[in-house]
Amino acid sequence: MGNGKVKILVACHKPDSVYEDEVYIPIHVGRAISKCTDDMHHMIGDDTGDNISDKNPMYCEVTAQYWAWKNLKDVEYIGLCHYRRYFGQRVTNDNIEFFLSDKYDVMLAKKQYDYKKVLFRLILASSQEDLYIFLYAIKKLYPEYLSTACEFINNNVIIGYNMFIMKKAEFDKFAKWQFDILFEMEKYIKISGYTRAKRVYGYYAEYLLPIYCLYNKLHIRYSPVVSMVGEKEKRTMKVRVRNVIFKIWFRIVLKHIRWEDKPTLTGLAVDYPDIDFNI
C-alpha cells in the first residue's frame, strides 16, 4: 500500500473501475468467499490477518473496517468510502489538516433529511426484533450510549453510507465499541433468507457511526458525497424503474403499519420511553 499518514480504503465487492492513488486504497471486501478473486487480484483483500471476510454478506463494507482495525498500522488517519461513492473533496497527505484539524475530529457524509424517522428505516431494512436487539446490545454493553442512540433513531436525520475519515487512534476506539455491539447482536439475531435482511449488521453499523460521534461530542465536518457510475454497471432504465418501485412500496407499507398491533414494539415502548414510536 505504500507509506503515508492517510489511508482511505475504497470498498469494492466486484470488478469495476475505481479511483486509486497513494491515499485511496481499493480493498476487495468479502474476498474469502468471493467468486471474483482472479479479476480483483491486484487489490488488497479483507481476508488476511485477523479478519471477518467470510461475514461480508451480513456486514457489507464493515468487513473492511474490521480488517483496518486489526491489521492496518503506522497510519495517522484512516477512512472508508466505496468504489461508487466518495467524499466530494479529494483528501491527500498534504491537505488532511485542512479537513481535520483542531476544529474537526471526523469527516462524515452530509446530513440528509427523510420524511420518516430513522427507526422506521431500520425496521424496514431488518425487522422490529432486530431493532430491539440493537438497543438491547447497547444497553447491555455501553448503557451510557443508550440515550444518544434513542435520540438519534427517533429523528429524521440520516448520516449514511458508512463513510468516514478520522484519526486512527480515534478509529481504533470506535471500532472496538462498534464490533462489541455488532458481535453481541449476532448472539440473538436470526438471519433470514431474504437478501436485504442478510445485510443487517451493515445496516446497523451505518447508524452506530454517527451515534458514537455524537455521544463523544466529536467535531464533525459534513461533506457532500459524490456518486460514481462504474463502466460495468451503468444506471440503466431498469435500475431507475426498480428504485421508483421501491419508493412506492415503501410508502404503501408505511401507511399500513399500526404500532399498537405490534407486540415487539409495545415492548420497545415500555423499555425505551424516550422513543416516540408514532411514525
pLDDT tens for each residue of 103-159: 999 999 999 999 889 999 898 888 889 999 999 999 999 999 999 999 999 999 999
Model pLDDT, residue 127: 86
Q: Which three cell numbers stand for residue 150?
A: 434513542
Residue 1: pLDDT band by 50, 70, 90 thresholds? low
Matching residue, cell 469527516: 107
Residues 66 and 46 sit within 8 Å (Cβ to Cβ): yes
Residues 213 and 149 sit within 8 Å (Cβ to Cβ): no
Say which residues have a Cβ less than 8 Å from residue 13's Cβ, sequence separation at least 6.
28, 29, 30, 34, 36, 56
Q: What domains can be seen in the chain, in order of their start residue?
A: 6-271 (3.90.550)
Residue 87: pLDDT band by 50, 70, 90 thresholds? very high
221 DSSP β-pair partners: 107
pLDDT in tens, 205-217: 999 999 999 999 9
Global pTM value: 0.84
Mean pLDDT of 189-218: 87
Compare 194 and 125 and report the one with higher pLDDT: 125
pLDDT in tens, 55-86: 999 999 999 999 999 999 999 999 999 999 99
Please provide the size of the chain in residues: 279
- How far is Cα 115 from Cα 108, in angstroms, rounded to an integer? 21
pLDDT cut 70: percent of the chain above it: 78
Residues 269 and 260 sit within 8 Å (Cβ to Cβ): no
